[in-house]
Structure 1
Amino acid sequence: MDEESMGVRDEIGFLTIHQRYADRFFPGTSVLHTRARYILFVPWLFEDLAGLTGPAAMRAMRERERELAGRLKDAGESQVIGGRVFPQPSSQPPSTVYWNALAVWGLLRRRLDGRTISRAQAHRLLKSAGTAMDDDGQPLVSFDPPFVPLPKRPANWRSGHISLQLTTEEATFLRERLGQLRSNGGHEASLLARLVRTETVAPDGMWATETREIAGPDKSALARAHQAAHLAGVGRAVYDALLERIVETDDKRETSTRHRDHLAAVVEDHGSLAVRLDVGALEADIGALPTKLRAVLTTTKDWVASKSQNPAPLFDVYAAAEARKGPRARLAVTPHGRARRLEWSSDEHGLAGPLHYRWEQVSMLLNDLAGAQ
């Protein structure tokens, strides 16, 4: 749902490919991430609230994150989490957005069973730091804090304007963590780790020559991800064109040809790369795909190769893939489907495009690290 809230549509299931490749290349990242310094702000906020647990800790954290958004806005920062709704608190505050990254990137310690510590558990662990001392002032029970030792806080951490500009010390700390990230938990450095180790700004794109040259053992997988991104872009355009057509032919409602016209442009721009995808090799990269999604990929690829301009023969396989959404499926030739189509407007629905694999967020992270002062 978070991905969709940022504009990533997933009627057919292409988000499976998006998430799996993104997690392989850029572990710990999220489409909701903004600036790199938040990864330090969150544990600093938790440590500031050591001693509080339960609802009191949750309320205090909510207020501190709200105040932080206001201070960042006052300092003229953009891409502030919660900045758009301030002075109201954000429904997706930094502690929610970055919690998984804290664990994956090694700032948040794991539980003994390997699972991620929850935010409530982190509050409890921090409270235990100051309790049960012996006569010499030493803890009676050994204390393992939830976070690893962090860089020192800036002088203006508690009050006044604060920026999202990393210090050199902070960037060095994050590089050391990110530079160790492995691809899918394996032994090889992830693409994110390789990019971080260059200590330069982000390449011009995920498919740029510079990116491919440092991809190492991920080079072939990166090429397939590129092809899959374009095939998914075609597939999304096919879905929209089929939907536009059924509104016109079955529902007997007047609609534009906007998405059908766009499909022709998408095939022209992305079709030559899309037809080169080896679906079997893609599954070797990211695991087996759901059967119906696999059928969509193979039939769409064959349709592009046939140079047909009519997507109607793809209707059944697309409707079958969307059926997983039950009564929310728009292609369904049912009363539910018709009701869902009544909520859909061709002119208001965004035009389809390729998968992005969170490259915008990764670029921002790399540029923040490179611009540290």
Structure 2
Amino acid sequence: MPSVLAWIDHDSKARERTLRILSLFQEKESRDELGLGSVRDSFADQLFPGTSTIQTRLRYMLFVPWIYHSLEEKRLPAESFSIQADKLERDLVQPLMDSDDQAGVFGKTAGKRLKRLPSSVYWAGLGVWGIRITPFSQDEYHRHIEETYRRRNALKALEKDAKVRGDDIDVEQRMAALSWHPRLPAPPEDFPGAVNFALTREESEFIRDRIQVACPNSLLSLLALHCEPADTQAPWEHPDYSSYSEHHKELLTHARLFSEVMHGAALSYNVQLARLRNHDDLVAEHQASFDEWTANLPLEEIRAWSVSRLWELTMDHGHTITPQTRSFVQQWIDHTRKSPSNLLSNAEALTLIKRREMKLKGSRSRFRNQRALEQWGGYSGVGRLVYRWPNVKVLLNDLYQGLSREDQC
């Protein structure tokens, strides 16, 4: 019987939360076989707020509000608002595919039949960066759009009365009637008929300013303001690392050590599964990766690492890190500190990995479910944690290119 994920559709927030969970299964860094995602995402959200591993290009941060703002200007009723928004998002696919830069196009393969629309991917980030002002979830926004129109009508009446009195309207009253930031740049005249990913200078400055105002203490803000793009494998390898604040350096040090240590846990998991499958080539491949990991492990640094400080930095940042997760991580660190080269022959360390996966997956555990083991593709979570850095690099490069551009696109 195939596994099924279901939920009771009480409200739009529950529905969006479930759809977000479903989408996570396709993210590169989300193959969270050992339940480390809460720690990973806590670091990522502090370093690069508003980003995700399913964001592809920066100009989508403008495409989405441009589409919705245009529909608001037409005063489309609620019953057709979401339908028309859906159509306009799908209409973006072909113009982007006709442009010179097709990397990161939503619908590149599926065309207008794409299942995940950009608005669902960028909605949260638009809110974090302060480009989206409405506090509604996307579905609530669609359903309450006529309430937005009523607030605008009320604002116009207030402005008219205030003008007669020689007064001015309170800023909060103005903002309450807006869905999108009042300084949102205007779209190209032919949008969305002909469009590409090249940000104009005005658009780039707007996005950079939004990041700085909304996320002033983040590494994302620092990089957007001061640093040229760097093609490094991880954020702690950036050539401008020495100019980072002490707080950023501390976050990155703990993020790096967490990535280093827990990479070994993921490799152990893969070695054990390969052994269960009696797949000698896979065993040898994962064993070689494990040996390389142990050879390059900064063991002295790991032994001096304050794990209590790790939890101080990652707890209470919007992600629940359970006592079970903290215990698992601590035990793996303890085993690693003692003798990393013996971890694949240490029965206690092997059992730690096995029990953790069994606890998380239940009846679908590959250690107890033969069919799940047979369906295993041979690699699970073997990539190092780099906290959305590959995606952030692309977004920053788009921003930098726009800030360096004098002409209008």
TM-score, normalised to structure 1, is 0.84
Q: Hey, what's the Cα distance between the residues in 1 that align with 2:228 and 2:112?
A: 36
Using the TM superposition, give the Cα deviation of residue 36 of structure 1 relative to its aligned residue in structure 2, in angstroms. 0.9
Q: Hey, what's the Cα distance between the residues in 2 that align with 1:53 and 1:232?
A: 51
Q: 1:108 aligns with which of 108, 118, 132?
A: 132
Q: Hey, what's the Cα distance between the residues in 2 that align with 1:247 and 1:135?
A: 72
1:313 paired to 2:348: yes
1:67: which partner in 2?
91
- Could you list the per-position Cα deviations for residues 155-180 of structure 1 after superposition, in whole angstroms to 9, with x for gaps in the alignment? 33142x31111100001111111012
- Secondary structure in 2 aligned to 1:101? helix
Q: Residues 315, 292 of structure 1: CA spacing in aligned structure 2 closer, same or farther, 3 A cutoff? A: farther
Q: 1:25 aligns with which of 25, 47, 56?
A: 47
Q: 1:207 aligns with which of 236, 258, 283?
A: 236
Q: Hey, what's the Cα distance between the residues in 1 that align with 2:287 and 2:297?
A: 15
Q: Hey, what's the Cα distance between the residues in 1 that align with 2:44 and 2:159?
A: 47
Q: Residues 286, 225 of structure 1: CA spacing in aligned structure 2 closer, same or farther, 3 A cutoff? A: same
Where structure 1 has 5 or more consecutive residues not aligned to the other structure, the ranges are 183-187
Amino acid at match of 2:365: A
Q: Hey, what's the Cα distance between the residues in 1 that align with 2:158 and 2:333?
A: 72
Conserved? CA contact 1:105–1:181, under 8 Å: yes
Amino acid at match of 1:368: D
* RMSD (Å), alpha carbons: 3.0
Amino acid at match of 1:31: T
Using the TM superposition, give the Cα deviation of residue 355 of structure 1 relative to its aligned residue in structure 2, in angstroms. 0.3
Q: Residues 121, 268 of structure 1: CA spacing in aligned structure 2 closer, same or farther, 3 A cutoff? A: farther
Q: 1:329 aligns with which of 348, 358, 365?
A: 365
Using the TM superposition, give the Cα deviation of residue 268 of structure 1 relative to its aligned residue in structure 2, in angstroms. 2.3
Q: 2:57 aligns with which of 35, 43, 58?
A: 35
1:11: which partner in 2?
33
Q: 2:119 aligns with which of 70, 73, 95?
A: 95
Q: Residues 274, 61 of structure 1: CA spacing in aligned structure 2 closer, same or farther, 3 A cutoff? A: farther
Conserved? CA contact 2:254–2:310, under 8 Å: yes
Amino acid at match of 2:180: F
Q: Hey, what's the Cα distance between the residues in 1 that align with 2:228 and 2:156?
A: 50
2:203: which partner in 1?
170
Conserved? CA contact 1:122–1:146, under 8 Å: no
Aligned counterparts, 1:239-318, within 5 A? 239-248=269-278, 256-257=282-283, 258-270=285-297, 272=299, 277-287=305-315, 289-305=321-337, 306=339, 307-308=341-342, 309-318=344-353
Q: Hey, what's the Cα distance between the residues in 1 that align with 2:106 and 2:376?
A: 30
Q: Residues 194, 262 of structure 1: CA spacing in aligned structure 2 closer, same or farther, 3 A cutoff? A: same
Q: Residues 45, 365 of structure 1: CA spacing in aligned structure 2 closer, same or farther, 3 A cutoff? A: same
Q: Could you tell me the percent identity over the aligned residues? A: 24
Q: Residues 126, 14 of structure 1: CA spacing in aligned structure 2 closer, same or farther, 3 A cutoff? A: same
Using the TM superposition, give the Cα deviation of residue 154 of structure 1 relative to its aligned residue in structure 2, in angstroms. 1.6
Conserved? CA contact 1:103–1:116, under 8 Å: no
Q: Alignment length, in residue pairs?
A: 353
Conserved? CA contact 2:97–2:105, under 8 Å: yes
1:221: which partner in 2?
251
Q: Hey, what's the Cα distance between the residues in 1 that align with 2:144 and 2:246?
A: 37
Q: Residues 4, 275 of structure 1: CA spacing in aligned structure 2 closer, same or farther, 3 A cutoff? A: farther
Using the TM superposition, give the Cα deviation of residue 237 of structure 1 relative to its aligned residue in structure 2, in angstroms. 0.7
Where structure 2 has 5 or more consecutive residues not aligned to the other structure, the ranges are 1-20, 162-172
Conserved? CA contact 1:36–1:365, under 8 Å: yes
Amino acid at match of 2:95: R
1:235 paired to 2:256: no
Q: Hey, what's the Cα distance between the residues in 1 that align with 2:248 and 2:227?
A: 20
TM-score, normalised to structure 2, is 0.77
- Secondary structure in 2 aligned to 1:49? helix
Amino acid at match of 1:153: P
Q: Hey, what's the Cα distance between the residues in 2 that align with 1:324 and 1:224?
A: 25
Aligned counterparts, 1:75-154, within 5 A? 75-76=99-100, 77-88=102-113, 90-111=114-135, 118-120=140-142, 123-128=145-150, 144-149=177-182, 150-154=184-188
Using the TM superposition, give the Cα deviation of residue 39 of structure 1 relative to its aligned residue in structure 2, in angstroms. 0.5
Using the TM superposition, give the Cα deviation of residue 138 of structure 1 relative to its aligned residue in structure 2, in angstroms. 5.6
Q: Residues 133, 246 of structure 1: CA spacing in aligned structure 2 closer, same or farther, 3 A cutoff? A: closer
- Secondary structure in 1 aligned to 2:69? helix
Q: 2:370 aligns with which of 320, 334, 338?
A: 338
- Could you list the per-position Cα deviations for residues 264-307 of structure 1 after superposition, in whole angstroms to 9, with x for gaps in the alignment? 22222346365554321110101173233223322322333313
- Secondary structure in 2 aligned to 1:11? coil
Using CA pairs under 8 Å that are at least 6 residues apart, name the structure with larger relative contact order, 1 or 2.
2
Conserved? CA contact 1:108–1:147, under 8 Å: yes
Q: Residues 279, 144 of structure 1: CA spacing in aligned structure 2 closer, same or farther, 3 A cutoff? A: same
Q: Hey, what's the Cα distance between the residues in 2 that align with 1:124 and 1:274?
A: 56
Q: Hey, what's the Cα distance between the residues in 1 that align with 2:363 and 2:69?
A: 46
Q: Hey, what's the Cα distance between the residues in 2 that align with 1:260 and 1:314?
A: 15
1:197: which partner in 2?
225
Q: Hey, what's the Cα distance between the residues in 1 that align with 2:137 and 2:53?
A: 20
Using the TM superposition, give the Cα deviation of residue 328 of structure 1 relative to its aligned residue in structure 2, in angstroms. 1.9
- Could you list the per-position Cα deviations for residues 37-83 of structure 1 after superposition, in whole angstroms to 9, with x for gaps in the alignment? 11011011001212224442222111111110111011132211122
Using the TM superposition, give the Cα deviation of residue 189 of structure 1 relative to its aligned residue in structure 2, in angstroms. 1.0
Q: Residues 67, 255 of structure 1: CA spacing in aligned structure 2 closer, same or farther, 3 A cutoff? A: same
Amino acid at match of 2:205: T
